Structure 1
Amino acid sequence: MNGTYGLAFWYGTSLILNGEPGYTIGTVLAVFFSVIHSSYCIGAAAPHFETFAIARGAAFNIFQVIDKKPSIDNFSTAGCKPESIEGTVEFKNVSFHYPSRPSIKILKGLNLRIKSGETVALVGPNGSGKSTVVQLLQRLYDPDDGFITVDENDIRALNVRHYREHIGVVSQEPVLFGTTISNNIKYGRDDVTDEEMERAAREANAYDFIMEFPNKFNTLVGEKGAQMSGGQKKRIAIARALVRNPKILILDEATSALDSESESAVQVALEKNTPRYSF
């Protein structure tokens, strides 16, 4: 660095003494400090060029996902939209394997008929296909063979968004958004009123603990519901499902985090909500 300084000043002094037009002490110093400062900035920025390369690699995968055309498009306007769903659900000779594991058959010729108003429990060991049946009913996947009907209509012929509006889901690990309890429940349906929200909270046995918070329904649940206990998150998620007034209610071990008293109260509330059938 000192050698660079000496060379710059020696060369600048030589230009001035030789009478080169346009060169003064001020000009030499201005050029000198401009070069030194720009070199310093480039040197400081160089280690971050790797970050740009990593970002480009990550963006490539993200843009691939964005540009991918899904086989089941929730935003599609195609498909029929029945005014109501009142009939039965039927699995007819359904076989299925996940795209990531094509060699492993999860379902092999499943036949299942569920009448309107029935409550059906799927029981079995891990990996037996319980969650797969639920995912197929939500039409997150399409079966490899056979078909699934609702009111004798193949669900693949129905409009995806319209069909899913008639389904309420409470998963084993419910997802809450980083906003208020009120907004989390109202996400269940676009036009939910405050009265419907409170009624759903009562049915889910969530109203009492919500009212104990200082801000009540305006209480923030935290990122992914971090401020709530497991049982509280479950009951808020159940209220969100009930406020949709779904015709098909899917509960994936939805009461596993509740105490026996709360579980009994929620179960009674769910049984009152007819007409609907549930898993």
Structure 2
Amino acid sequence: MVPSFGMAKSSALKVLKLSERRSEINPNDESGLILPQVLGNIEFKNVHFSYQAGPDSEVFDNFSLKCVAGGITVLVGPPESGKSTAIALLQRFYDPVKGSVSLDGHDLKTLNIQWLRSLIGVVQQEPVLFNTSVRENIAYGDNSRFVPQEEIEASAKRSNIHDFIKSLPQGYDTSCGTMENQFSSGQKQRSSHTSALDKKTEQIVQDGLHKALSGTTCLTIAHRLSTIQTSDKIVVVHRGKVTEESEMSATKLDPNDIFEIHGSIPMAVFPEA
């Protein structure tokens, strides 16, 4: 009994110590610039980054990338090549060890972090629905204000899920917690405003999202040819470096070459000014 208590105490102390840790990047920091207008030009310049100390653990090794305002840039490459790390740095979950990440020429470290993150929408490959209503799950995308029902329904229609929601027992008031098993993966993703959809509706939703994202800057990590084909620029990332990039108009895709990609796909979006 005593040894078990000692082990439990030791484990509890480790958990408490972990809960008391503070991020080096304060998410509640109110200082920093708020740009009067956002164009959406993103640049990673000579970025070096590692999650752990040591020369053999570097994720980015002189990583440089430019995302033009209003364009769709797709990152492709093998697992653990640094694609998801680019999204994490863009949201300032981490800062580069060397180099910089900038928005419209301003280093992200000089910008107000709350304002910066409010600009970015991220969609994961495996979305999670909160244990609340469908309406609240959709409206959660903008928690800075009350989102009227008209906007919620308009968003659902653009994502081709409005009819399904209306067929639920309580429509938009249906709890996603109690209905979790009735949502397919594709339907969950559409509730999260993503485009990884079933084959039957994928093209319809891709076209709708392409129109909805007009004027925004998108940085996508792709593993599907359909995602790549709607992009403006394809960037191949391998071992923490950009090894190749090409404008989509000049690219011929072969499913058997480098574009047969593996991995997951978050998407960062800067809205139109």
TM-score normalised per structure 1: 0.71
Letter matched to residue 104 of structure 1: S
Structure scoring higher RCO (CA < 8 A, sep ≥ 6) equals 2
Tell me which of 191, 201, 221 is aligned to 1:236.
191
Does the C-alpha gap of structure 1 residues 154 and 202 become closer, same or farther in structure 2, counting only changes over 3 Å?
same
> How many residue pairs were aligned?
216
Q: Which runs of 5+ in 2 are unaligned?
A: 220-273
Deviation string, structure 1 residues 41-63 (Cα, Å, up to 9, x no partner):
xxxxxx6x888656544442333
Does the C-alpha gap of structure 1 residues 153 and 211 become closer, same or farther in structure 2, counting only changes over 3 Å?
same
Q: Residues of 2 paired with 1:63 and 1:69: CA distance? A: 12
Q: Which runs of 5+ in 1 are unaligned?
A: 1-46, 239-253
By how many angstroms is 1:135 displaced? 1.3
Residue 211 (structure 2) pairs with residue 272 (structure 1)? yes
Deviation string, structure 1 residues 148-172 (Cα, Å, up to 9, x no partner):
1001010111111110100001011
Q: Residues of 2 paired with 1:138 and 1:226: CA distance? A: 31
Give the aligned partner of residue 218 of structure 1: 173
Q: Which runs of 4+ in 1 moved over 6 A?
A: 49-52
Tell me which of 179, 195, 198 is aligned to 1:259.
198
Q: Residues of 2 paired with 1:113 and 1:152: CA distance? A: 11
Deviation string, structure 1 residues 53-98 (Cα, Å, up to 9, x no partner):
5654444233323322211121111222223321300110111111
Tell me which of 154, 160, 182 is aligned to 1:205.
160
By how many angstroms is 1:276 displaced? 0.7
Does the C-alpha gap of structure 1 residues 72 and 216 become closer, same or farther in structure 2, counting only changes over 3 Å?
same
Select the structure that is richer in strand: 2
Letter matched to residue 210 of structure 2: E
Residue 94 (structure 2) pairs with residue 154 (structure 1)? no
Does the C-alpha gap of structure 1 residues 70 and 199 become closer, same or farther in structure 2, counting only changes over 3 Å?
same
RMSD (CA atoms): 2.3
By how many angstroms is 1:187 displaced? 1.2
- Residues 95, 143 of structure 1: 8 Å contact kept: yes
Residue 30 (structure 2) pairs with residue 77 (structure 1)? yes
TM-score normalised per structure 2: 0.72
Q: Residues of 2 paired with 1:228 and 1:205: CA distance? A: 14
